[in-house]
Structure 1
Amino acid sequence: MDNLLGQYAPKIDRDQGTTDPRPYALGYTEREFQRLELQGALIHDLTEEFLRRAGIGPGMRVLDIGCGVGDVSLLAGKLVGPSGRVLGVDRSAGAVDIAERRATESGQCYWTRFTTGELDTFSPDETFDAVIGRLVLMYLPDPAATLRRLVGFLRPGGIVAFQEMAMPLTRSFPEAPLFSKCRGWIIETIERAGFEVDMGGRLPMVFAGAGLPAPQMNSAGLAGSGPDSPVYDYVAETLRSLMPMAEAVGAATATEMRVDTLAERLRSEAVEQQMCIMLPPLVGAWANTQG
């Protein structure tokens, strides 16, 4: 994993051009961008199935908010095909650069495009058939207000589809000390930083607050066990990205985490105890606008 992700010094960056004063909990380092690609690969199938169930299909025009390095946009691009169009928007220019490169490499650059912008000021000059996002509402100060604004960019009857985590449902069986600590560090850091750890559970409230009908919903999750599971690296890299924020908010210290050896220690614990690690369920919600 170290060869894949490289060595980068994490830092907390304050977002520029946004009315939200909170820095993004996971930061904008190159290593975090590569963690996002790892995450995207792990939950690719779960999100693809969600988008299909929400109704994303050939020829549609789709807006992906908080697109990061482009995983969800590229998934949507595969579903809409060359006759459709996907626009991904993210506040991080670095993430957008990576997304554009990946679109070119995948052959989707003609219909899957990206732009840098803030969700509270972004105003496209076109309408869409769907607005989608994954793991983005949890970081917004007023997700219902953001959704309400974005609905204005949809055609009548357009699709609103979001997939978010229910972090408190993360667990292992049997329970084990190190994994329990990791779960606590992640949840406590995100909570203390001012973000929502159970946005998956709150999605019906958010949709209602945005003036949307009660959504259809599903839940899907990733689990791992044994020596070859990727979940140990994923947990460790998540904590590597969170570490500056964890220290800033007093949730944990680098000395406690020992993040450079964390993945191997998690692996050893899991193998020794024949554990099943269940990562946070991804809760999906989708609805059509009125009209």
Structure 2
Amino acid sequence: MDTSFVERRPDGRTKTLDTRQYTLGYSEGEFKRLQLQGDFVRDLTEDVLRRAGLKQGMHVLDLGCGVGDVSLLAGQLVGPSGSVLGIDRSQDAVEAAERRAVEAGQCYWVRFASADLASFVPERKFDAIIGRLVLMYLREPAETLRRLAGFLRPGGIVAFQEMSMPFARSVPTTPLFTQVLGWIVRAFARTGFETDMGGKLFSTYLAAGLPVPQMISGARVEGGGESLGFEYIAQTVRSLIPAMERTGITTAAEIGIDDLADRLREEAVAHGACIMFPPMTGAWICSQQ
């Protein structure tokens, strides 16, 4: 995948952008968006973790934990007799996750650390390695899985969930939703990240030297004006505005972020539209394999 993008300056000169930074940024607004996302797809993630075999007493490593949603969910499944370590490259995200663990009463067995996945070396072995929407951001996801799988106990679990962005749609097709989806997909693609990691999970597991995984795919499907999905879309666009402007996709003025959620909602209601969000695909190898 090409991970560079050439920016043309007003004076005609060009420079190559560093596109391996997290596309959505590390703002307080992004952290709130991550929590909204966590609430929005929680059931889909919990289903994958339960199918994978997470249970009381297990010790779990959560890669790319962000503000802690998946770590806290795993913490509920393993309970205080187990443990979860969530790692993320952003110290600010880790601090937000730690505060949430305290608020949830899980801080004694769900902990967090700031680390780069490319060089992270845990001090112990785990019963499970998990992650959601993290492999899509890695330059070599299979190599990362191969390396970290070495820190699994025999018969351990590897469970990841990734999305397939291009498969989101509105039925019937509506112009604003189509435009916004195009902005989002292009922003990730132009900044060098995988927009269909869900579709590539199977081959990634095999390339990592892991057994053939079990897999399942599911998606949120929303209709009507009460859906949180419109705010989720708008907040995703808000976090992507710097990347969209930097890569020439669109501008903040064209987006009109302040009322984007309302306009998406009004369009969907006016057309009686069903919004089919990106499929979330889970893949896991179980302790029985």
TM-score by length of 2: 0.92
Change over 3 Å in CA distance of 1:290–1:149 after alignment to 2: farther
Task: Provide Cα deviations, 1:157-193, integer angstroms capped at 9, x if missing partner.
Answer: 1110000001111001000000000110000110000
Q: Is the alpha carbon distance of 1:262 and 1:21 closer, same or farther for their aligned partners in structure 2, counting shifts above 3 Å? A: closer
* 1:46-98 deviations in Å (ceiling 9; x for gaps): 11111000111110000000000000000000000010010000001111111
1:36 CA drift (Å): 0.3
- Structure 1 residues 129-184: Cα deviation after superposition (integer angstroms, max 9, x where no partner): 00000000000000000001110111111110000001111001000000000110
Aligned: 1:241 with 2:239: yes
Q: 1:141 aligns with which of 120, 131, 139?
A: 139
Q: Which amino acid aligns with 1:271?
A: V
Task: Report SS of the residue matched to 2:275.
Answer: strand
Equivalent residue number for residue 282 of structure 1: 280
Aligned to 1:231: 229
Query: Which among 63, 81, 84 is matched to residue 83 of structure 1?
Result: 81
1:106-185 paired onto structure 2 within 5 Å: 106-185=104-183
Query: One-letter code of the match for 1:187?
Result: V
Q: Which residue of 1 aligns with 2:14?
A: none
1:1-291 equivalences in 2 (<5 Å): 22-288=20-286
Q: What amino acid does structure 2 have at the position aligned with 1:232?
A: F
1:23, 1:246 → 2: CA distance?
Answer: 14
Cα distance in 1 for partners of 2:62, 2:47 equals 16
Q: Identity of counterpart residues, as a percentage?
A: 60
Report the alpha carbon displacement of residue 21 of structure 1 after superposing the two structures with TM. 6.1
Gaps of 5+ in 2: 1-17
Note the aligned Cα RMSD (angstroms): 1.3
Query: Contact 1:218–1:284 (CA<8 Å) still a contact in 2?
Result: yes
Q: Which amino acid in the other structure matches residue 244 of structure 2?
A: A
Q: Which residue identity lines up with residue 29 of structure 2 in the other structure? A: R
Determine the C-alpha separation between the residues in 1 that align with 2:242 and 2:288.
43
1:288 Cα deviation (Å)? Answer: 4.2
Asked if the contact 1:73/1:87 (under 8 Å) is kept, the reply is yes
Pairwise CA distance, 1:289:
7.8
Partner of 2:143: helix, strand, or coil?
helix
Q: Structure 1, unaligned stretches of length 5 or more? A: 1-19
CA distance in 1, matches of 2:76, 2:266: 38
Q: How big is each residue's C-alpha offset from its partner over 1:20-67, in whole Å with a ceiling of 9 and x where there is no partner?
A: 961110000000000000110111111111100011111000000000
Give secondary structure in 2 for the equivalent of 1:251. Answer: coil
Name the residue aligned to 1:6.
none
CA distance in 2 between partners of 1:263 and 1:21 (Å): 27
Give, as a single letter, the amino acid of the residue that structure 2 aligns with 1:166.
S
Contact 2:155 2:287 in 1 (8 A): yes
Q: Is the 8 A contact 2:128 2:157 kept in 1?
A: yes
Say whether the 8 Å CA contact 1:156–1:290 is kept in structure 2: no
Residues in 2 aligned to 1:62 and 1:84: alpha-carbon distance in whole angstroms: 8
Amino acid at match of 1:69: V
Runs (4 or more) in structure 1 with deviation over 4 Å come to 288-291
How much has 1:250 moved relative to structure 2?
1.4
Give 1:109 shift. Answer: 0.5
Check the 8 A contact 1:61/1:130 in 2, yes or no. yes
CA distance in 2, matches of 1:212, 1:32: 33
CA-CA distance at 1:215 after TM superposition: 0.5
**C-alpha separation between the residues in 2 aligned to 1:115 and 1:290?**
30
Aligned length in residues: 272
Query: Following TM superposition, by how much is the alpha carbon of 1:290 offset from its aligned partner in structure 2, in angstroms?
Result: 10
Query: What TM-score comes out, normalization by structure 1 length?
Result: 0.91
